[in-house]
């Protein structure tokens, strides 16, 4: 498609889908910076792959209005530049324009970053020099036509070097958040998606910051941006094979001091970076974000297979707002399970080491017995609230996953010698699935095993009518024997692994929802007052959280039997119990995301009515 000077074309969809996607993806100026700096880096990378020398300069100019709102964002590079034809191709909405889909090793997995950044902020100008031609275009939402519009302002010969300048003007009716200078530096430098770019010796990234709308003119502030990795000891360096993604390389480090981490904060220093070919896609602590011992760990797992899946148009791997991987996807779940196996071991090791290094006062025996009795009662109540009728899995902390097809749970199970272990089989509730049996076979068994059934029929889930469910059991007779489990339901298949291992009493206790109550005194500024660790079952009370001390003191729980302390402790234990059971019940019985929070609060209050009398009868009375 050709475009003439002054001409306006409408290269995309004729509805507001583009605007909605832009607002979902770009929430503030940092999101736009990430997208546009990534584009500049991709352009440099393409030149470098061709053996060309590049300056690697990327300049970020930000103008901030009074009141913390963005006025203008300018990104400039000296990379390949774009012709008018290329610009038109880039702005065709709904097409995959990134070089990534042409096999280039670049970060642009979607080819939507420039378009969405402009639409979320207001209007955009593109001034690009390529092969001796300078092209100046404007991209915006035409409110009269209600379409995306691209206008060619000028196109002329030039002696300028190749490169591109993107100018984003914030519309007056849009309040795009813009941080102060120091906050911007930290948010850009620490953003996980930019760490490889800002840590590369081939890139020179500069921030120039202007304040506008003040009575007195202020001089611009500028800073070279550089990412400095956290320091720590490497404790893992292993190769992992994942059924969905193939080979992955996992490195894990332990810091001397705890690192900053907050869920959904792309600048968090703790966490595992999920990386594929020239892109960092996510940073996660996988449910351990509120565990203070998890904040000592950081690392990365590199999976080239993610890029290959995306090139093969495998959908659903990345969230639509591009804030990370979609952890409900079956491939991503497998990845999470493998990382958690390693990470949880080191978190528990860190916790035990820390606890053993501190001399602890001894808890009175009467209080310890009350805790033991209380945990037993809470587990019984929790089981009643969550259990399924029929042959339920032996570990009470398993829950219905998000099911998209034939699924066996758990995917890996350990069991003592000569004891049965139950597995749960799920599938979608369709007529054809009800009539067909699920065939169960052993896959490469190493030892002797007994299956309770070689075939089972799935029945409708009593609480989730969209699912079918069934159970079978297996046991083995010799330590260290193992076997794969292969299930087939029509044309669908899934696998799991069963292993015979020596299981201590402590290991059995961990299968309970609630195993112990502890009083944490070493966290000086805890971020919450009570925490339930799903992997250990321990309820932890943070004594130094405002409002808890002086009513409850010391690691032995001093003051917890006083009138004020006992009521407060009962409230904290009930909070931890109901959070866990309500969340499990919502995940298990309520698959529709619409209204899920309301359901959670409903279950929370229902469970509160049942657990409060039990807790009071043991602790308060």
Q: How far apart are CA 252 and CA 284, in angstroms?
A: 13
Q: Are 450 and 368 in contact (CB under 8 A)?
A: no
List, as own/partner pairs, every contact residues 80-83 make where C-beta atoms lie below 8 angstroms and the sequence separation is at least 24, other chains included. 80/43, 80/46, 80/47, 80/130, 80/162, 81/43, 81/128, 81/129, 81/130, 81/131, 81/162, 81/163, 81/164, 82/126, 82/128, 82/130, 82/135, 82/164, 83/128, 83/130, 83/131, 83/133, 83/135
Q: What is the pLDDT of residue 391?
A: 31
Q: What is the mean pLDDT of each run of 10 residues along the chain (621 residues)?
A: 68 63 83 94 92 95 91 95 89 57 50 81 94 93 84 92 95 86 95 95 95 78 94 94 88 95 92 92 92 95 90 81 84 91 94 77 89 94 70 39 79 86 89 86 90 91 86 91 90 87 54 88 87 88 92 91 93 95 81 71 92 93 68
- Say how far apart CA 447 and CA 458 lie, in whole Å: 28
At residue 480, the pLDDT reads 85
Longest dimension (CA), the chain: 88
Q: Give the long-range contacts of residues 105-111, CB within 8 A, separation 24 or more.
A: 105/45, 105/49, 105/277, 105/278, 106/41, 106/42, 106/45, 106/46, 106/278, 107/38, 107/41, 107/42, 107/45, 107/193, 107/278, 107/279, 108/38, 108/39, 108/42, 109/279, 109/307, 109/310, 109/318, 110/322
SS3 22: helix
Phi-psi region of 156 (alpha: psi -120 to 50; beta: other; left: phi over 0): beta
pLDDT at residue number 473: 94
Q: What is the DSSP string of 275-312?
A: EETTEEEEEE-TT-TT-GGGGGEEEEEE-HHHHHHHHT
Q: Which two tokens stand for residue 223?
A: 């800073």
Strands 297-302 and 246-254: antiparallel
**So what's the pLDDT on residue 114?**
86
Backbone angles phi, psi at 198, to 5 degrees: -75, -15
Which runs of consecutive H residues, i.e. helices, occur in 407-548?
431-435, 505-509
Q: What is the SS3 assignment for 34?
A: helix
Q: What's the whole-model pTM score?
A: 0.61
Helices (DSSP H) in 50-175: which residue ranges? 84-90, 113-121
Tokens 């490169």 locate to 163
Predicted pLDDT of residue 215: 67
Go through the domains of the chain in sequence order and give each one's CATH number: 8-225 (3.30.565.10), 233-354 (no CATH), 365-384+511-620 (no CATH), 398-506 (2.60.40.10)
DSSP at 534: T
Q: How far is CA 296 from CA 235, 288, 346, 523, 613, in A?
A: 12, 11, 10, 14, 39
Find, among 300, 263, 262, 298, the residue nearest to 281 by Cα.
300
């Amino acid at each position: 498609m050709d475009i003439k000077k002054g001409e306006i074309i409408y290269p995309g969809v004729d509805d507001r889908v583009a605007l909605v996607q832009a607002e979902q993806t770009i929430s503030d100026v940092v999101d736009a910076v990430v997208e546009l700096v990534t584009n500049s880096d991709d352009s440099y990378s393409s030149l470098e792959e061709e053996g060309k020398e590049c300056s690697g300069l990327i300049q970020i100019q930000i103008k901030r209005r009074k009141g913390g709102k963005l006025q203008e964002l300018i990104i400039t590079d000296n990379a390949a530049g774009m012709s008018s034809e290329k610009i038109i191709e880039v702005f065709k909405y709904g097409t995959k324009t990134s070089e990534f889909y042409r096999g280039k090793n670049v970060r642009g997995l979607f080819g939507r970053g420039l378009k969405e950044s402009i639409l979320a902020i207001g209007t955009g100008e593109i001034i690009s020099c390529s092969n001796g031609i300078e092209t100046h275009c404007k991209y915006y939402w035409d409110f009269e036509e209600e379409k995306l519009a691209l206008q060619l302002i000028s196109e002329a010969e030039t002696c300028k070097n190749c490169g591109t300048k993107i100018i984003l003007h914030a519309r007056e009716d849009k309040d795009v958040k813009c941080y102060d200078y120091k906050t911007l530096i930290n948010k850009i430098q620490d953003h996980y998606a930019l760490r490889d770019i800002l840590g590369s010796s081939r890139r020179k990234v500069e921030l120039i910051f202007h304040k506008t709308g003040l009575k007195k003119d202020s001089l611009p502030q500028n800073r070279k941006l550089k990412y400095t990795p956290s320091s720590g000891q490497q404790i893992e360096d292993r190769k992992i094979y994942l059924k969905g993604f193939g080979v992955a390389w996992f490195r894990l480090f332990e810091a001397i001091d705890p690192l900053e981490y907050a869920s959904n904060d792309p600048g968090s220093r703790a966490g595992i970076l999920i990386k594929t070919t020239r892109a960092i896609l996510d940073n996660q602590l996988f449910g351990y974000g509120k565990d203070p011992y998890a904040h000592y760990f950081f690392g990365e797992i590199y999976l080239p297979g993610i890029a290959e899946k995306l090139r093969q148009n495998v959908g659903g791997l990345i969230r639509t707002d591009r804030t990370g991987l979609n952890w409900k996807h079956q491939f991503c779940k497998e990845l999470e399970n493998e990382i958690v196996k390693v990470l949880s071991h080191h978190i528990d090791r860190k916790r035990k080491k820390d606890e053993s290094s501190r001399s602890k006062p001894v808890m009175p025996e009467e209080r310890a017995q009350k805790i033991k009795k209380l945990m037993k009662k809470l587990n019984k109540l929790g089981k009643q609230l969550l259990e399924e009728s029929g042959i339920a899995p032996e570990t009470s902390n398993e829950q219905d996953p998000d099911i998209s097809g034939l699924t066996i749970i758990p995917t890996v199970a350990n069991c003592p010698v000569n004891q049965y272990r139950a597995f749960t089989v799920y599938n979608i509730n369709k007529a054809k699935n009800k009539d067909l049996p699920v065939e169960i076979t052993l896959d490469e068994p190493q030892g002797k095993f007994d299956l309770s059934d070689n075939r089972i029929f799935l029945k409708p889930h009593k609480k989730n009518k969209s699912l079918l469910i069934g159970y079978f059991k297996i046991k083995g007779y010799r330590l260290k024997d193992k076997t794969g489990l292969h299930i087939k339901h029509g044309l669908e298949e899934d696998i799991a692994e069963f292993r015979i291992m020596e299981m201590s009493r402590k290991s059995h206790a961990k299968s309970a929802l609630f195993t112990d109550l502890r009083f944490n005194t070493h966290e000086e500024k805890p971020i919450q007052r009570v925490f339930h660790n799903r992997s250990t079952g321990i309820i932890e009370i943070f004594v130094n959280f405002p409002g808890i001390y002086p009513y409850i003191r010391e690691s032995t729980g001093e003051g917890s039997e006083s009138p004020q302390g006992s009521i407060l402790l009962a409230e904290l234990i009930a909070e931890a119990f109901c959070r866990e059971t309500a969340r499990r019940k919502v995940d298990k019985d309520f698959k529709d995301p619409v209204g899920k929070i309301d359901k959670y609060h409903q279950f929370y209050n229902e469970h509160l009515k049942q657990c409060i009398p039990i807790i009071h009868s043991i602790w308060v009375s």
